[in-house]
Structure formats: structure tokens, C-alpha cells
Structure 1
């Protein structure tokens, strides 16, 4: 008897996601969620500066924030965790973040197909009407590990 997977909940998942790997190192925090969106926070840290002469967060950590928020928004919208791969994540910077300010990233998954998910969102430092950046992205949904289905890719069909 197969037990159906638990419904994905970004708040609960973040307790695990943000204790490990890159997201833990960045110090990402869960902020809020809805049916098809997630908001995360990247706290300001001096070691994440882009320019030592200006105490503002570098663009790289903000991109990581938005990429993670995108994945979590997709899982929130689909109500389940299945691996996704970033195909395209466009980041249009509007301005630098304010000095010594954390950045919030809010992303919504506005469309899903069998093999793709589409997201859009903003990064802001306290005022969503004055964004640091806008993002738009396309993610590939991965239903199964292709190596398990195709021995030519390094797996053995059904022998794992």
C-alpha cells in the first residue's frame, strides 16, 4: 500500500531546507506563503557585500534568494515536492538594496504545464512598491530520475 506524499508546505519545508547547504550558509529565512507564492528573507550580512565601500547586499545572494523562492513557490502551487531545474531566471535590477537592509523575495508560480513551471516575483528591502529587482523564470519539472528509466544514462532499469 503506497502512502500518498504529504502536502508541501513552505513553512514546514523551510525548517529543513534552511538548515543545510547553500541556503543555510546564506541564512535564508521563511517569511510568508500563499496558495501559489512564497516570500523568503535574505538577512543583511557584511560578508555578502558586492562592494566593500557600500554596505549593500551583492547581486549573487539576491539571485540565490529568488531562485530558492521560485522553487518553493512551484512546490507550493503544485502542493507536492518534485525536483525542478532552473532553465531561465531573468533578474532585472531596478536599484541597489538600501544600506544594511535585508532583502525579501516574493515569487509566485503563475502557470504550470506537464513539464514546466513559470514564475514571477520581486525582491525588495521593505517596500514592495519600490523593488530592488523583478524576476521572471521558467523551471523544468522532473517527474522521475531518468537514470532509473534508461540504463544508457548510468542507471539500471528497475534494479535500484
Structure 2
């Protein structure tokens, strides 16, 4: 969906609001997917010579836990506000990127905000113990965690320090 910012500046009489369902399932996200629709709401309100654009996104993110590799889904809610001047429509260094005819791609903006807001390391829980290096099962497990035969001899001095 393209929001015509140039038109809003030219003919503004009340806030412009749009509720959207975006399909970002085919997009390339770093380490996760967004399998369902993303609910987005965008509102543009002119305040003097400044247009305030509010973006509200809710998305379910599917990922494998970085510690135990268990598949999980977590909901993320992102709220961002941008202030745009009419001069920003033609400024290549503006915070938001507009088309040459002054439109804002809401789908692209939602994608960008999700990439920026979703953490790069996702865990199933904050206290996830991860996988056992011996048996490969989720911790806690019942195997012994002695690594006496597998310690690199160059690092053996560090083990002695721990024992002292």
C-alpha cells in the first residue's frame, strides 16, 4: 500500500488512517520468518507544517531458539512515530524514503521496522539452558559433564586456576 504523503500535505482536512493486513511471509528476515499476516495501522496527522506519521505493527515471528533450537513463535508489537516536513519528500537523506511522486510504501516501512525491532538472538525463554554438549539433549540432563579428556592442553592452566 502506498500512502500519498504529497496529497495529504496539499489537501489535509482531517487525520488519515488506514488499517492493513500485510503479507510479509516471502520476505527475507535475519534468522526468523513472519508466517502470518502482519496487522498494521498507520495514521497521518498534520500539526502546523509537520506531518506526524504513526505506525503500529503486530506480527507473529517464528524462530528456532538460539540455545536449544526449539521452534517457537512470539508476537511482537512495534509502535513508531515519524515527523515529516514537506521538504522531506524530495530529500534523499530523510528518515523515510518516498517515491519520486511523494508516496510512502507502508509495506516496506513495516518490513524495515520489524527487522530493526526484533532481536537478532531469539530465545524460547530467558532462562533457557540450551543443549548439553555431551548428549545433545536439552539441559538439564542426566549425563556427566566431565570434559577432562577433551580440554585443549594449551588451556589446561585455566582449569588449574578454577580448581585452586
TM-score (norm 2): 0.31
| Larger relative helix fraction | 1
TM-score (norm 1): 0.32
Please identify the structure whose Cα radius of gyration is greater. Answer: 2
